[in-house]
Structure 1
Amino acid sequence: MQDELESRHYRVHSPLQAQLLMDRAWLRLLDVFTPEARGMADAARVLGVTTEWLFKRVRRLERAGLLNVHEIRPRAGRAVRLYRAASDTFFVPFSLVPPETVGRHNRAQHLELFETAIGRAFRRAPFDQHGWGFVTARAPSGDVFFRIIREDGVRWADLGEAAPVMVSGWHLLHLSPGDARDLQGELRALHERYAGRAGEIPFLLGIFLTDTSNVPGLEHARDDSHG
């Protein structure tokens, strides 16, 4: 089983490799050199960055053993180095990355990006007009939340195509184990349904669902499901 795993994935052995692979920004950069080898200029074009910006990062991936020189092509002047990722996929054992920290950096990084994008949306039409705000509301489960609304009762979601495309909010749900697994499956299927599409506008989607029954911090939340 171990031999089969290593034949399919490159098994990471160093904390530095694990650290880089757990950062989606570095992973996306490395993915440009997967599965085909690319020169620095070609990779910079794909990423939409300068070769100067990319140079130091390629060197760091190379020193970490995640990126290798695949081929050197002679050229008048300086030879062109083609780089390729050490593997198409990597296996990072929990002995290098504690399970509770997996994704923590990326969630924080992407949440900051998400909040910046949401902030910009609220500074543009229609929210730059007078009368918009939020109203407190209560879900059937007893959880409370905020709803974006205009003073005359119009919700931003009621604006149709004039409303920005965004979904934001944390929701406390009280579910049976079966319902929780059904929801998990539906969320995964929803993501997969759209993940393969190629549109012109990048959207950031976050999907979060976890059991918080033994995690401090939500003790005050109401549970009306048995009342």
Structure 2
Amino acid sequence: MEGMVLNQPYKQVHRPDAAAFLAQPASVRYIKPFLGRECSVKEAARELNISMSGMMYWLEKMLALELIEVTRIEERRGRPIKHYRAVAEEFFVPFALTRAGTHDEMLHEWEKPQHDALMKGIAKAREAHMAQWGILHSRQESGVLRSVFTALDGHQEVSPSGPPVLSGWITAHLTPEQAKVFQQRMMDILRDMTLLGEAGEGDPYVMHVGLAPRPEH
């Protein structure tokens, strides 16, 4: 048996090729089975729902990039089973080392699949529960046009008969201090939802929050 390798709790990536691997949604998924635990090739392939040969391909890449390592070898009749683990619990990838053109391009690449899933989930839930729904337009006191997707009778904030879905966009004028307060509130909501989700009860829901200074163009 090989000696147990002690992985790091946190690692900043310095190799450009490793950064490129971890910065791509299509490739970084293959390290997930090895984060925070030991895992064999067979177990990883089962978790990712890919073939053993496909898993071996990505395993060799991650070994070459020094992102995972062999932690122990389990002796048995026939071929021994190798167990692997990521070299760190968390990886920080500096944007400067990635191959993304701009921060904007990277954000779109990473968030588009989740955004699309949220929009599809909202549309499907509304179509299944609402006989009539559309866009409600009104003018706010500030003069801004307010447009909300809602049911025909959905003037109230949360309709008792409607599905538990929500999507809304606003432009608000805030001081830096006020923006920080709302930032913390949204982080608290995400934390609470994460804790509830870890219980594993009920149906899966997609949730997104966001806050940023509005670009001029």
Q: TM-score, normalised by structure 1?
A: 0.72
The alignment partner of 1:148 has SS state of: strand
Q: How does 1:66-105 map to 2 (within 5 A)?
A: 66-97=67-98, 100-101=103-104, 103-105=107-109
RMSD between aligned alpha carbons? 3.0
The one-letter code sitting in structure 1 at the alignment partner of 2:103 is E
Structure 1 stretch displaced more, 19-28 or 78-87: 19-28
Find the aligned partners of 1:51 and 1:106 in 2 and give their Cα distance. Answer: 25
Does structure 1 residue 43 correspond to structure 2 residue 44? Answer: yes
**Partner residue in 2 for 1:136:** 137
Other structure's SS at 1:196 match: helix
Q: Deviations over 1:69-126 (max 9, x none)?
A: 2222233333322111021122323431478255442112322222332333244x21
Using the alignment, how far apart are the partners of 1:138 and 1:32 within structure 2?
Answer: 50
Distance change in 2, residues 1:25/1:163 (3 Å): farther
Return the alpha-carbon distance in structure 2 between the equivalents of residues 155 and 56 of structure 1.
Answer: 55
Residue 148 of structure 1 contacts residue 156 of structure 1 at CA under 8 Å; is this kept in 2? no
Report the alpha carbon displacement of residue 189 of structure 1 after superposing the two structures with TM. 1.6
**What is the match of residue 32 of structure 1?**
33
Which of 85, 106, 118 does residue 110 from structure 2 map onto?
106
- Identity over aligned residues, as a percent? 24
Paired amino acid for 1:49: N
Distance 2:76 2:24 in 1: 35
Unaligned runs of 5+ in 1: 1-6, 218-227
TM-score normalised to structure 2 length:
0.75
- Correspondence for 2:210: 208
Post-superposition Cα deviations, 1:161-214, rounded to whole Å, max 9, x if no partner, equal x533222122211112221111111111221223223233322222211112xx
Indicate conservation of the 8 Å contact 1:11/1:92, yes or no.
yes
Give, as a single letter, the amino acid of the residue that structure 2 aligns with 1:100: H
1:106-185 alignment runs, 5 A limit: 106-123=110-127, 125-127=128-130, 129=131, 131-151=132-152, 153-154=153-154, 158-160=158-160, 162-185=161-184
**Structure with the greater relative contact order (CA < 8 A, sep ≥ 6): 1 or 2?**
2
Counterpart CA distance in 1 for 2:126 and 2:45 is: 33
Decide whether the 8 Å contact of 2:126 with 2:163 is kept in 1. Answer: no
In 1: Cα distance, 2:140 partner to 2:29 partner: 38
